[in-house]
């Protein structure tokens, strides 16, 4: 695609009502350029690996392990990541099929726009779910007595449902504003900026602050495996999600930023299963156990850590959080 166009631009083009394909900067019948072929190939390989990894997470947590408040979040996050990777693969397939069969311009952009809305839905949902899981982990560490005694039993399931609905609402707003209004770019700017600050930057700062408090406070404690896994996931979300959050601002200077951000988004959705396995299997700086054993060690610790924690004010708190 020698002339690059971002997917949110395709939404704007479809909503503008202009009828001549020559008015636009992208030809679906044009062969992809060499650099985009490389980026697309990398994104495809990462996405396929991520589908396998998230599929393993879904199988283990859905059918092989007992559910607890944190596995509910992880299971929903795996669903969001699996769906996002699938949408990315479909979008890449569309870009390679369109030159081969010279798909109609309007059909191409309609399908491309729908896939982008689905991508936003999964991307937002994954971001919100990871933020909720990290915030609940912080609450369990900072207020163990309150968390043990007053946490609603079905909080995880209810909160996951609310966050899926919130992601669907924002994706629907993007779709309607682009097809039936003229505020597509402005809405995308606002959503990208607000989501990045509230659901990426702030969770990273709060988790880092908690980590420092646990390691350097007067009652020094060792962070548990689940907390380390959540901290790593939030960190990678911040690093890998940053280019996508600022993509529309940088596209003017670097048109290929959309494809770079898609590669990083696929990496972000693929890396969580790797984090779970490495953290769960790590013991004395060695990685020695099966995938299922690593997951059980990681998530069963998260389910029992608050039960083992002592009430604040006790002489010593030796257990992990």
- Domain residue extents for the chain: 7-308
Closest by CA to 250, choosing from 197, 198, 192, is 192
CA distances from 260 to 50, 80, 205, 246 (A): 17, 20, 25, 12
Asked whether the predicted pLDDT for residue 267 surpasses 50, the reply is yes
Name the residue among 317, 278, 284, 313 with its Cα closest to residue 298.
Answer: 278
Count of helices and strands (H, E) across the chain = 12, 2
pLDDT of the residue at 311? 40
Give tens-digit pLDDT for 270-287: 999 999 998 888 765 556
Higher per-residue confidence, 308 vs 169: 169
For residue 286, what are the β-bridge partners? 283
Max CA pair span of the chain:
76
CA 84-90-95 angle, to 5 degrees, is 125
Alpha carbons 280 and 168: distance in angstroms, whole number:
32
Average pLDDT of span 209-229: 73
Output the CATH code of domain 7-308. Answer: 1.20.1070.10
Mean pLDDT of 4-32: 47
| pLDDT attached to residue 309 | 44
pLDDT at 251 > cutoff 80: no
pLDDT of residue 23: 38
Query: CA-CA distance, 274 to 294, in Å (whole number)?
Result: 11
291 has pLDDT over 80: yes
Residue 264: CA count within 13 A, CB half-sphere: 18
Rounded CA-CA distance 291/321 in Å is 23
Q: How many Cα atoms sit within 13 Å of 145 on the Cβ side?
A: 6
Structure tokens at 232: 């790593």
Rounded to two decimals, the pTM is 0.83
Using CA atoms, how far apart are residues 251 and 9, in angstroms rounded to an integer?
A: 11
Q: pLDDT at residue 257 above 80?
A: no
pLDDT tens by residue, 31-86: 667 777 888 889 999 999 999 999 999 999 988 888 888 899 999 999 999 999 99
The continuous run of DSSP H or E covering 193 comes out as helix 184-196
> Cβ neighbours of residue 302 under 8 Å, at least 6 residues apart?
68, 70, 71, 137, 224, 225, 226
Which of 59-63, 83-87, 140-144, 232-236 is the least confident region?
A: 140-144
- Look up residue 154 and give its DSSP letter: T
**Model confidence pLDDT, tens digit, residues 152-204:** 888 899 999 999 999 999 999 888 887 776 677 778 778 888 888 888 888 88
As given in the structure block, the two tokens for residue 7 are 């997917």
């Amino acid at each position: 695609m020698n002339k690059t166009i971002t997917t949110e631009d395709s939404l704007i083009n479809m909503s503008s009502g202009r009828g001549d394909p020559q008015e636009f900067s992208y030809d679906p019948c044009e062969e992809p350029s060499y650099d985009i072929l490389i980026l697309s190939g990398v994104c495809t390989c990462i996405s396929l690996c991520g589908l396998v990894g998230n599929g393993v997470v879904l199988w283990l947590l859905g059918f092989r392990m007992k559910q607890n408040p944190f596995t509910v979040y992880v299971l929903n996050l795996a669903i969001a990541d699996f769906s996002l990777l699938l949408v990315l693969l479909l979008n890449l397939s569309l870009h390679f099929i369109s030159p081969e069969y010279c798909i109609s311009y309007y059909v191409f952009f309609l399908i491309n726009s729908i896939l982008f809305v689905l991508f936003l839905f999964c991307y937002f949902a994954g971001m919100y779910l990871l933020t909720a899981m990290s915030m609940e982990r912080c609450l369990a560490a900072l207020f163990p007595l309150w968390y043990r005694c007053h946490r609603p039993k079905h909080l995880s399931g209810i909160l996951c449902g609310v966050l899926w609905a919130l992601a669907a609402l924002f994706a629907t707003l993007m779709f309607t504003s682009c097809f039936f209004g003229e505020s597509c770019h402005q809405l995308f700017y606002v959503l990208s900026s607000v989501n990045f600050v509230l659901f990426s930057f702030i969770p990273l700062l709060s988790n880092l602050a908690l980590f420092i408090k646990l390691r350097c406070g007067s009652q020094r404690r060792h962070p548990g495996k689940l907390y380390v896994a959540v901290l790593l996931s939030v960190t990678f979300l911040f690093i890998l999600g940053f280019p996508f959050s600022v993509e529309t601002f940088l596209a003017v200077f670097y048109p290929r930023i959309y494809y770079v951000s898609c590669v990083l988004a696929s990496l972000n959705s693929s890396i969580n299963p790797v984090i779970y396995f490495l953290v769960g299997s790590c013991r004395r700086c060695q990685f020695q156990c099966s995938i299922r054993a690593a997951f059980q060690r990681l998530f069963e610790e998260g389910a029992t850590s608050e039960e083992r924690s002592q009430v604040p004010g006790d002489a010593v708190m030796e257990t992990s959080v």
